[in-house]
Amino acid sequence: MSSVSSDLAFRMGQRSYGMSGLALSYVLIGYVVSIVCISSRSWFANALGVFLLIHTLIWAAYFVHEFIHGTVFRQPRMNAWFGNLMLFLTGSCYCHFRDLARNHLAHHKNRADFSAFSIADFLKSLPKPLTQLIVALEWMYFPAVNLILRWLCIMAPFLGQARRDERSRTLGLLALRGSFFIALGLYSWRSLLLYGFAYICFINILRFMDCFQHTYAVFQLGQSLPQYSLEYEESNTYSNLMPDRWRWLNLLFLNFGYHNAHHRVIHCPWYLLPQLDAELYPSDYRQHITLDRFVKNYHQFRIHRLFNNGGTVIDSEQGLDLDSFVGAVGVSFLILREPLEWLNLTVSTAQPT
């Protein structure tokens, strides 16, 4: 593991409003254009709209991550305002930006992952036919668990006491987004189907990127935690990148795949991460894993990971053995990690092996 020799003051203090402004303009304008395209009677425009909608939602999600780390604006208020706007676009606005930021920054501070409850225990607690339906949907790559987690966040103010003061806000957001989709459906029923398809693809891509970035222990927020070292963080963090000859394609994910570099300098903006990564690590760094190596695992363990921990990565003489790397489910930074007391479920602490 290399030492940080780059100019940290530059990495942490750099703000290119031109770069981020251009990318944000693409997200906002591209989202509007995608809605126009999926509402068209032209199948070519529909296809273009679906691809554009998927990508603008992906960038909107990763800009939430940038706003959480304060890499776009110097003023926290501006990061929060635009963060909430991106959350609205991605349908994750039912949780406050400040709460999602607190959860995610705890992940960095404590070098651990957090969950509100055990997903495996939750699935086992459901009536068997419902569990079987969820498993069948997940087998077909329909992200049922992630969608359930999102709806649990929406329902939390009405079924528990911790977020009771958010009821009016949640109802208002449901009415606003619901009105948008009703209007869209009245104009073109096909556009709703296309939007739903694009949204499912968006969720699948996000969770594929999230799935294999850590082999951290899992805890509940507020639980007593051990003190993990930088060495532990580095060896349990993985950069899931495009192959070298297509490395520029990491921009498709706003360079989110440079995860080791991001964890080393959490205030480094998205457009400087490739340069920072090149300064910190050799080109053959063992934690750099190309995305194509994860496709088999993502497919093979898509049901297994619902009921089991993240698996193991074995460090061998030939490099990292990923055959038992199951990956995580439901770890998106767009989902709140607060305990849901009304579910009566707890976290099964998972320690890395």
Tokens 């070519």 label which residue?
44
- The token pair that represents 80 in the structure block: 């929060």
Could you tell me the residue range of the domain that residue 88 belongs to?
16-230+297-343
The most distant pair of C-alpha atoms in the chain lies apart, rounded to whole Å, by 60
Rg, the chain, Cα only:
20
How large is the average pLDDT for residues 318-345? Answer: 83
pTM of the model: 0.93
In a domain, 35, yes or no: yes
State whether 179 and 268 are in the same domain. Answer: no
* Number of continuous H segments (helices) and E segments (strands) in the chain: 15, 6
- Examine residue 6 and state whether it is found in any structural domain, yes or no: no
Q: Are residue 339 and residue 214 in the same domain, yes or no?
A: yes
36 falls within a domain: yes
Tell me: do 68 and 172 sit in the same domain.
Answer: yes
279 is a domain residue: yes
Judgement on whether residues 75 and 40 belong to the same structural domain of the protein: yes
166 in the same domain as 46? yes
Strand 314-316 and strand 288-290: the pairing is unpaired
Whether 216 and 307 map to the same domain: the answer is yes
Is the domain of 265 the same as that of 120? no
pLDDT tens column, 244-283? 889 899 999 999 999 999 999 999 999 999 999 999 999 8
- Structural domain includes residue 349: no
User: Backbone phi, then psi, for 237, in 5-degree steps?
Assistant: -125, 140
- The reply to whether 253 and 224 lie within a common domain is no
Q: Which residue has the higher pLDDT, 1 or 86?
A: 86
Last residue of a domain, one of 251, 267, 286: 286
Of residues 259 and 352, the one with the higher pLDDT is 259
Q: How far apart are CA 275 and CA 119, in angstroms?
A: 37
What is the distance between the terminal CA atoms of the chain, rounded to a whole angstrom? 20
Interval 117-142: pLDDT, tens: 888 989 999 999 999 999 999 999 99
- pLDDT over 90 at 3, yes or no: no
Tens of pLDDT, residue by residue over 194-212, are 999 999 999 999 999 999 9
Q: How confident is the model at residue 12 (pLDDT cuts 50, 70, 90)?
A: low
- What is the average pLDDT score of the chain? 91
| 318 part of a folded domain | yes
Q: Which of 330, 237, 352, 217 is nearest to 289 (CA)?
A: 237
Within a domain: residue 350?
A: no
Judge if 83 and 198 occupy the same domain: yes
Whether residues 205 and 339 share a domain: the answer is: yes
The structural domain count of the chain equals 2
Please check whether residues 278 and 177 belong to one and the same domain.
no
330 and 247 housed in the same domain: no
Inter-helix orientation angle 167-187/189-211, to 10°:
130
Domain-embedded: residue 1: no
CA dihedral (39, 41, 45, 46) positive or negative: positive
Closest-CA residue to 220 (of 134, 95, 334, 119) = 119
